[in-house]
Structure formats: structure tokens, C-alpha cells
Homo-oligomer: A and B are copies of this chain.
Amino acid sequence: MKKLINNPRSVVAESLEGFGQAHHDLVEIHLDPDYVLRRGLPVEGKVGLVSGGGSGHEPLHSGYVGRGMLTAAVPGAVFTSPTPDQILPAIVKSDSGAGVLLIVKNYTGDVLNFETAAELAGVEGIDVRTVVVNDDVAVEDSTYTAGRRGVAGTVLLERIAGGAADRGDDLGKVAEIAERVNANVRSMGVALAPCTVPHAGEPSFTLAENEIEMGVGIHGEPGRHRLEMTNADSITDQLMEPVLSDLGIASGDRVLLFVNGMGGTPLSELYIVYRRAARILEERGARVERSLVGNYITALEMQGASVTVLRLDDELTDLWDSPVNTPALRWGV
């Protein structure tokens, strides 16, 4: 596996450096410990939003730092949780006095390390709340998780909670909005080919030439089962069924449909998945009112995709549409 890197050990730092240079109008990079801040902090009177997790899922989370989304992102090593000593300064610098919401994907290491950092921040007098995202319907408990994994729903949650913070909601309200998103969003993914963690040098799992992993996690963790490769419509059916059942999507529901690429799948294929997923929703009588299609939470160069459905209400829709100005999502400004 060839990679455009210099040294497996310096991938995260060098990538962050380039990211900081390319987007210096929006973000400020801190190295050692590594974290990314929105430029121009503190934002007076506004709740701070801090997220983070292992690297390798770009543009998540650093690409979502900016107005209307995250105040700070804390990237760990590839597929490895950031440490409390990285997370703590990001929390401290994100606090303008209005408190900080931590957005944590449900992986054991992330939950633990954000919890420790939250306690330390509490000692420093910062009002901290945490929302744990667990939108992946594929499996209960997994390689790195007790309970469901947090996956693509995180992107939607960061956007919508960020919109709430930007309009001036207090910490309790921002946390309530975030919990509402988490309660109404479900995802499931599939892998066609694995990815290779730079310092491992070998694919994180193997699939036969005619095999796919249904319900895969964003680190290549096993899903529900492996099956023989089939066509896009059939794969989409198998992704959508558990998502819609679990969410209890009914006629008249308004939804956001998000088809995410894992990093190595052409955009054209994601739209083929979108086409089928939208049709399934239509047949259920649901209305697709917003959409997102592209590589928004990846697993390095993994080939595959996930579908995410978020049940919308008026407030969530307004917050989704509100101005956002980050390296990876931008509108209204």
C-alpha cells in the first residue's frame, strides 16, 4: 500500500500543519499537544463545542472547526483516542464563560479520555456537558465499543448543535438539541475494500475479491456479516432497512438523507446509493427535505459507504440551514 506520507509517525502532525496553513483564515493549529481551534476565540457569550477522536476520518473533526460548528477539535493518532492532556486545553480555550459541550463518539477510549478531561475542566470552574453519539445500528458492542458506535450521525450533530451555539443558546439548550439529534439519527455502513493504518503497514482486515462487510465500523471493525458482493441497490436496501426500522420512520416523517463515502469510493457511486435510498424513503411516505452526499467521515482510503437518516423537525431544519463556515462545510456566509 503506497501512501503520500513522509513517515508513518509524523502523518498526523504534518497533515495538521498543512491543514492549518490551507485554512489559516478559519483555524489555528496547536501542536504537541495537538488540537485545532477556531480563529478569534473566545466567542463572547457563546457556548463552546469541542469534539475529537482518532485521526483517519478526515475531514472529521478538524474540518468542522469554525462558525456554526465546532470551537475546537482534538485529533488523536490514527484510529486512536486523543489523551486528556490534549483535550483539556482545547476545552479551556473554547470556554468564553458560557460553558462547553463535548461531542464524543461512543468508543471506550474516547469516552474515558473526554470524561477525564471534563473532570479536570470542572475543577478549573468550567461548566462542561457531554453528549455521546451512538448512531450506528449495525452492532451492539464492538471491537472498541460498549454499546453502539458513533459514526456519520456525528457530522450532522456537530452542525446542528453548532448552529444552536451560534444563535446564542445556553449550554442546557445546546445539549438538549444535541441529544435530540442523537435520538433521531441512525446510520449503517458497508466496506468493499479495507484501509491501511500508516504505522501498521498492513490492511486492517481482509476481504475476498467477491466479499463485502455489511455493517462495518469506521475503523474497519467487523459488522453484522460478510456477504457476497451484490449490486448497489441491493446493498442500499440492506443498509436502509435496519436504519429505518430502528428509527421507526413512518409516513409523513421529514428527514435528512446523508450518504457518506468512506474515502476510496467515487462520488458517482455515492449518488447511485443516494438514488436508491431516496426511493426507499419515498416509498415509506417520508419526505427527504435535506441531503448531504460526499466524504464527510472516512476511514482513510477504505472503499465503502454509509447511509444516515436524521428525522427532522422545524428547529433542527432551521439549525441545519443556519450559517456555517468551516473548511469542510460552508454555507450562508
Copies of this protein, total: 2
Residue A130 CB within 8 A of the other chain: no
Min CB gap A49→B, angstroms: 21
B301 in contact with A303 (CB, 8 Å): yes
Query: Cα distance A263–B264 when bound, in Å?
Result: 6
Within 8 A of B (CB), among A246-296: 257, 259, 263-276, 278, 288, 291, 293, 295
B14 in contact with A272 (CB, 8 Å): yes
B212 in contact with A21 (CB, 8 Å): no
Cβ–Cβ < 8 Å partners of A58 in chain B: 266-268, 271
A18 in contact with B229 (CB, 8 Å): no
Cβ–Cβ < 8 Å partners of A273 in chain B: 4, 18
A18 in contact with B267 (CB, 8 Å): no
- The chain B residue sitting closest to A288, CB to CB, is B21
Q: Give the number of residues in A that approach B within 8 Å (Cβ atoms).
A: 62
Query: Cα distance A12–B264 when bound, in Å?
Result: 18
Binds B, one of A38-46, A84-92, A231-239: A231-239
Min CB gap A86→B, angstroms: 17
Query: Cα distance A41–B126 when bound, in Å?
Result: 53
Binds B, one of A97-105, A145-153, A325-333: A325-333
Residue A59 CB within 8 A of the other chain: yes
Residue A68 CB within 8 A of the other chain: no
Min CB gap A70→B, angstroms: 17
Cβ–Cβ < 8 Å partners of A5 in chain B: 231-232, 269, 272
Q: Mark A122-157, 1 if CB is under 8 A from B, else 0.
A: 000000000000000000000000000000000000
12 A-B pairs with CB atoms under 8 Å apart are: A3-B269, A4-B272, A4-B273, A6-B272, A15-B271, A18-B270, A18-B275, A21-B288, A263-B266, A266-B298, A266-B300, A331-B333
